[in-house]
Amino acid sequence: MATETSPLITAAALDVALGAESLWSGAGRRRSAWRVLDVRWKLGGPPGREEFERGHIPGAVYVDLDTELAGHGEPTDGRHPLPSPDAFQEAARRWGLGDGDSVVVYDDASGTSAARAWWLLRHAGVRDVRVLDGGIAAWRDAGMPLEKGPDATPIPGSIHVQFGALPTLDGDAAAALAAAADAVLLDARAAERFRGEVEPVDPRPGHIPGAVSAPTTDNVDADGRMLPADALAERFRGLGIDADTPVGVYCGSGVTAAHEALAMVVAGLPLPALYAGSYSAWSNDPERPVVTGA
């Protein structure tokens, strides 16, 4: 499915959008509101709220990935299972989102955690969601202002969400995709985790049999900005993917897999199906085989 607009936004374009949001169109209707969400997060690290309070984009609302962009379940559900639609709608309303809003998400990790928010919002039916390319560093580097302190509690929104707008996989479907000759299952984790040389959090090192290693670090440049569309398209062609290839993506817990999906959209490719449970769910199921090596 092709996207109508780019899923990325530059710092300069965001500055213009935020400055123009109070303007009125010639027809007399107020432009759709822009909402900015700060999704700073690190695996195993403290929540990003402290970083947020030290400096954030003016008007941004902090979003906690562990508690607001994920649910809770058994180990075989993965570390970051999708939240329930009701829980996600409640969170989105706390952030001040309304139906028809445009949303910008950002982080300080090359877009990897922001992409989780991008994917979930799109999955929930929000049409216009952008990831700030280069994150808060790009905003700072452009000389844009920062606010300090906690976010001002937004007026509660009235958004209605409905999951199902984007394709997903369960474990059985991921296994079938990896085994199919005409399909590709991408593993977005670091290459050494794919090979099983290190495994910091999951019970069994290795990867899903038949998966292809595609670390998300290869999607971005040294500044954490997404590579140009043509470079990404070439990268995915090298992984055996074109516009007609059925593709699934997974990572450790469904976070960086969303970044792989984002990169595919930037490359002009259809959205892949995301295995939300990812390797943390797979490796906790003793009935699921794992393999090591390249």
Residues with a catalytic annotation lie at: 251
Residue that the structure tokens 């390319």 belong to: 133
Helix (H, G, I), strand (E, B) or coil at 194: helix
- CA nearest 43: which of 94, 106, 116? 116
The Cβ-side half-sphere exposure at 136, using a 13 Å CA radius, reads 25
**Nearest 10 degrees: Cα torsion 30, 95, 249, 51:** 120
H or E segment to which residue 34 belongs: strand 34-38
Calpha distance 152→99 (Å, rounded): 21
- CA nearest 11: which of 128, 146, 119, 109? 146
Q: What is the 3-state secondary structure (H, E, C) of 104-138?
A: EEECCCCCHHHHHHHHHHHHCCCCCEEEECCHHHH
